[in-house]
Amino acid sequence: MSEAEKPAIPGSLPEAVVDEWGKQFPVIWLLPLIALLIGGWLVVKAIIEQGPEVVIQFQTAEGIEEGKTLVKYRDVIVGKVKTVRFAEDLTHVLVKAEMVPGMERHLIESTRFWVVRPRVDSGEISGLGTLISGAYVAMDPGKEGDESREFVGLETPPVIKSNERGTVYHLRAEKASSLSVGAPVYYRQIAVGQVTGYRLAKDHAFVDVDVFVEAPHDFYVRRGSRFWNVGGVDVSIDPAGVTVELESFASLISGGIAFETPLSLTDSEQAPEDTVFRLYPNYARTREKPVSRGYRYRVDLSGDIRGLLVSAPVELMGVRVGTVMQIDPYLDLETKQARRTVFIELEAEKMLRIEERADLEGEQLEKAVGSRVEVLLARGLRARLETTNLLTGQKIIALDLMADAKPVKLVSRDGYPVIPAAPGEMEQLGEALTRTLAKLEKLPLDRMVRNADQMMISLDKLAQAASKALPSLVDETHEALDATDEAMRGIDALVAEEGALGTEFYAAVRELQLAARAVRLMAEYLERHPESLLKGKDESP
C-alpha cells in the first residue's frame, strides 16, 4: 500500500482506558477462591464441632472394633471408637474414642470406662443384649477431679454407679469365706446393698471388705450395728441346741453379708461413711461379745474346766449378762492344785434396768454395776461352771444365788473385783460320790458278804428241795382242784329248781307270795272299810 492509499490519521484520537482491577486479580480465580473459603469454613466448623478425644487403656480389646464400637452412657451414644492400638511395651491396648461435643466437662479423673459384654458373675448374668448388638464401651461420669483425656478402663463393671445414692462402709474379717464382688448385703433378709470389693490388709492379718448400702436403708446402719457373713449354710451347736441358718438361696451361691443393730443400741447415731466394722463369721458370733462396754470381774475356778471357752456366755439365773473374755491357768502352791482365773465382763444393759442406768456414763455406770454385784453377793451370789450341752461338753459361767452361801463383800484382787466361785456340777457330783464311798468304807462289808454268801447257799438248798417236791405238789394241787370242781357241781344240782333244796325253796317262795297277796287284799279292804275293825266284816252281799 502506497502512502496515498493509507487512511488519514485524525488529529485527536481517543486514548485507550486500561482496566487496572482486571489486571491485578483475574476474574477466573474468583470461583476457586470462593470454593476455598467455603472449604475453610467447613474445616473450621468441623474443628469447632468436633468432640473431645479420649484414650482408654484396657488389658484386651476383646469385642472392640475401630469405627464401629460405640461409647454409651445410660444406653445413649456419647462417642465412638476411632482407633485401637497396642501400647509401646505391648502390655495393654489403647483405645482412642471421639466423644460427642459437650462431654468435655464430664471427662474428669473420676470418670470410669468399661467394656460391656456377656458376663456371668456372682450368680448374675449380664450383657446378654450385646450378643446381638455387639460389645460397647460404657461410661460412668465422675463427680470430682480435674479434666482428663486419658483413662484406665475397668476390667469388670463397677458395682456402684456414680448416680446411685448410699453409703460406703468397710468391714474387717478374719477370712473372705465365700464373699465375692457384687454379693448382696441384707437387712432383715432384704437386699439393700452390695459388696464392692475385698482385699488383704496391708499386714495380711485380715481381709478388708468394702460394702455399699443404698439410701435410705443406710439410715439403719448405726455405730453399734453388727455385720456377719451369711454365705452358705451355717450349722452351729450351742447351749440352745443345733441351729441351721440360711439367709437366702442367692447367698448360698454367691455369698452375702447381713447386718442388724441390737435393740439396746438402736438409739445410737447413724454410722458415717467409711466407718469400719468387724465382720463376724456367723450370726451366733455377733451375740457372743458384749453389745456395749462390759466391766471386767475375776472368778477363780478349780478343777476341770474343759469345755469353757473364751466368748462363752455368763448367765445370771438363766439370763445372759456377760461374756468370758480371758482364761488364765496357774498353780496354787498352797493347795497344790491347778486353778484357773477366768475374767468375765458384765454388761450394764443386762445388769441394770433402763431407769437405773439413765444419765449414767463412764465411771458412774461402772459403780452402778459394782453396787448391783455387791447386793447380789450379800444374798449369796456365787459363780460356778455349768454344762449346757452334754453332747459337746460346752460350759458356761453361771451366777446363782445359793441359799447356803454366806454373804461376802466385793473385794479386788490384782486390780479386778472378785466374784467367789462355788463347786461346779462335776465337783458337786464328785463330792457326793466321795461321801458315798466314805460311808461304804465304814460298813462291815466282809461280814455282809459272808452273810450274803450263806443266804445264797440257803436259798440254793431251798430251791433244790422245792424242785424235788414240786412234781408231787403239782399232782396234789390238780386233785384238790378236781375235788373242788366236783363239789361245786353237787351244790349246783342241789340248789337247782328240780333239786331237793330247790323244790322246797321255790314252794316256800310261792307260799310267801300268796301270803303277801292276802295281806295286800286285807289292807285294801281296811282302807275302804275302816269301821270293820270295830264292827267286823260286813257279810251282806
pLDDT higher than threshold 80 for residue 5: no
pLDDT at 355: 75
- Return the C-alpha cell found at 531: 269301821
Within 153-215, strands assigned E span 166-173, 184-187, 190-200, 207-214
pLDDT higher than threshold 80 for residue 249: no
Q: Mean pLDDT over residues 62-79, rounded?
A: 89
Lowest mean pLDDT segment, chosen from 9-18, 258-267, 530-539: 9-18
DSSP symbols for 279-290: EESSHHHHTTS-
pLDDT tens-digit profile of 23-56? Answer: 566 677 778 888 889 988 888 887 777 788 999 9
Q: What percentage of the chain exceeds 70 in pLDDT?
A: 83
pLDDT at 93: 92
| Contact of 225 with 260, CB cutoff 8 Å | yes
pLDDT higher than threshold 60 for residue 457: yes
Q: Mean pLDDT over residues 482-489, rounded?
A: 86
Closest CA to 58 of 152, 137, 130: 152
pLDDT higher than threshold 70 for residue 418: yes
Closest CA to 323 of 333, 308, 340: 308
Report how far residue 380's alpha carbon sits from residue 457's, in angstroms, rounded to the nearest whole number. 56
Q: Which amino acid is at 16?
A: A
Q: Mean pLDDT over residues 250-254, rounded?
A: 66
pLDDT at 57: 92
Report how far residue 276's alpha carbon sits from residue 256's, in angstroms, rounded to the nearest whole number. 18
Q: How confident is the model at residue 234 (pLDDT cuts 50, 70, 90)?
A: low
Q: Mean pLDDT over residues 378-384, rounded?
A: 88
Average pLDDT, the chain: 81
Q: What percentage of the chain exceeds 90 in pLDDT?
A: 9
Q: Which amino acid is at 301?
A: L
Closest CA to 111 of 141, 145, 148: 141
523 φ/ψ angles, rounded to the nearest 5 degrees: -65, -40
- What's the start-to-end Cα distance of the chain, in Å? 223
Q: Mean pLDDT over residues 478-484, rounded?
A: 86
Report how far residue 24's alpha carbon sits from residue 215's, in angstroms, rounded to the nearest whole number. 76
Closest CA to 183 of 166, 198, 205, 168: 198
Residue with cell 459363780: 383
Q: How confident is the model at residue 242 (pLDDT cuts 50, 70, 90)?
A: low
92 φ/ψ angles, rounded to the nearest 5 degrees: -160, 175
pLDDT tens-digit profile of 18-28? Answer: 666 555 666 77
Report how far residue 255's alpha carbon sits from residue 248's, in angstroms, rounded to the nearest whole number. 9
Pairing of strands 76-86, 70-73: antiparallel
The answer to whether the predicted template modeling score (pTM) of the entire model surpasses 0.85 is no
Q: How confident is the model at residue 96 (pLDDT cuts 50, 70, 90)?
A: very high
